[in-house]
Amino acid sequence: MIFSYLAQSATGKTVRAVIDAESRAEAMRRLQALDLMVFELTEAGAGRSAAEKAGGAGKRLPSQAVKRFCSALAPLCSRHIPIDQALRILKDTADDKLLGTLANHVHDQVRQGHGLAESLESFPKTFPAQALSLIRAGESAGKVGPALAKVADMTERQMKFVSAIRTATIYPGIVMSFAVLAVIMILLWVVPALQPVLQTEDGRVTGEMALLVGMSSFVSQYGLTTLIALMLAGCGLMAFYQSGAGRAPIDRFLLTLPLVGSALRDSQAARIMSTLSSLQSAGVSVITALEHVEQGVSNAALKAAVAEVRTAVRHGQSLSDALAAQPLLPGLLSQLAAVGEKSGTLPQIFEDSAIGLENILEQRLARYSVVLTPVLTLFMGIMIGSIAMIILNAILSINDLALQ
């Protein structure tokens, strides 16, 4: 078994290493025989197990847990409480099991000599690179509390924006799903039941009813096959999107779509400005900040544009000129960067603009939701009403023939 230990030698030197022993007791005896005063002795891999329990090792913790962790730890660190003591206080007072487990894991890592940002790297899908960079910069400048407060604020704003997107899409999606389900039920059960009544003597169905009968026949015979084909096509498109070759062209196509493309550009622009502002305020260089911005951009086409901006800045070009040279990035970025560079208030301008742009996006999504819901409801009513009118006219025409 492999054990990691933290000890002090007879000369007062701190030693951190590993030792191979059959048991914990044997490892302790061997270390004491080397005149080492052992402070910690843990089995190698125990820290990773704790991380797995807390959601590390590739798992993603909910954003709410991240916000609560940073919000609770920020005021403790701002009062100049040592980070290990602040984490112990948070661990002991946490009223949420997930938050307590996270604080316990980070506390163990910090006690082993790791920094806060280094300890949080066990959760790469939970704490993005820009957040870790901000915390690391705060550690270097002795301002961990403000850095954590900034991460909490960024997380809260991101949660609010995601919630706005969900609110704007859930109800219209439900309305559209019910419309499709209603049409399928009419075609599978109502139309076949009325078909024998509406047939002529030679077994044919005339008029608009023939279209419904044809649709009903297609859905009953090939509906399941079509559904499976669409699902396979969707899975194939998703696999192509996740591949290195497919992500860039699909993301570039999304940027050309009306409404969707502008919303994607503006949301990514808000994230770029917010990240640049936070990292610049913490003392991170523009080139390093752009590296973390690039990692945080989800659209592959915009990510490539940010990479070109970083290369241009590294070669001596100003940030505003480098942003202006990228047609995929909103022109607002380069204009604000030019104003900020001249006035020396680039971080503050980007921060205020990011908040304003996020508010505009939320209002735009709310308007889309308000307009889209009645439009879809009207469309569903027209579609189902048209089918009902076709069936009703066919029935009335049969009655007219019977009267004649």
Domain ranges of the chain: 1-44, 174-404
- Check residue 50 and give its pLDDT: 44
CATH architecture assignment, domain 174-404: Up-down Bundle (1.20)
- Give yes or no for residue 354 having a pLDDT over 80: yes
- Check residue 52 and give its pLDDT: 45
**Token pair belonging to 123:** 């959760």
Tokens 């302790």, residue? Answer: 28
- Give yes or no for residue 95 having a pLDDT over 50: yes
- Check residue 122 and give its pLDDT: 75
- Count Cα atoms within 13 angstroms, Cβ side, for 370: 6
Tokens 């061997």, residue? Answer: 30
C-alpha–C-alpha distance, residues 160 and 158, integer Å: 5
Residues 161-217 have pLDDT tens digits of 778 777 777 877 888 888 888 888 888 888 888 777 766 655 566 667 788 888 888
In contact, 40 and 112? CB cutoff 8 Å: yes
State the DSSP code for 10: T
pTM: 0.64
* pLDDT category of residue 49 using cuts at 50, 70 and 90: very low
For the residues 15-29, what does the mean pLDDT come to?
72
Which backbone phi and psi does 43 adopt, to 5 degrees?
-70, 135
* pLDDT category of residue 100 using cuts at 50, 70 and 90: confident
The rounded mean pLDDT for the chain is: 80
- Check residue 109 and give its pLDDT: 83
- The more confidently predicted of residues 338 and 210 is 338
CA 11 vs CA 8, 17, 35, 36: distances in Å: 8, 17, 10, 10
For the residues 108-135, what does the mean pLDDT come to?
79
State the DSSP code for 23: S
* pLDDT category of residue 45 using cuts at 50, 70 and 90: very low
* pLDDT category of residue 231 using cuts at 50, 70 and 90: very high
In contact, 319 and 333? CB cutoff 8 Å: no
Which H or E run includes 15? strand 14-20
% residues pLDDT > 70 (the chain) = 86
Residues 361-393 have pLDDT tens digits of 888 887 887 788 788 888 888 888 888 888 888
C-alpha–C-alpha distance, residues 353 and 333, integer Å: 9
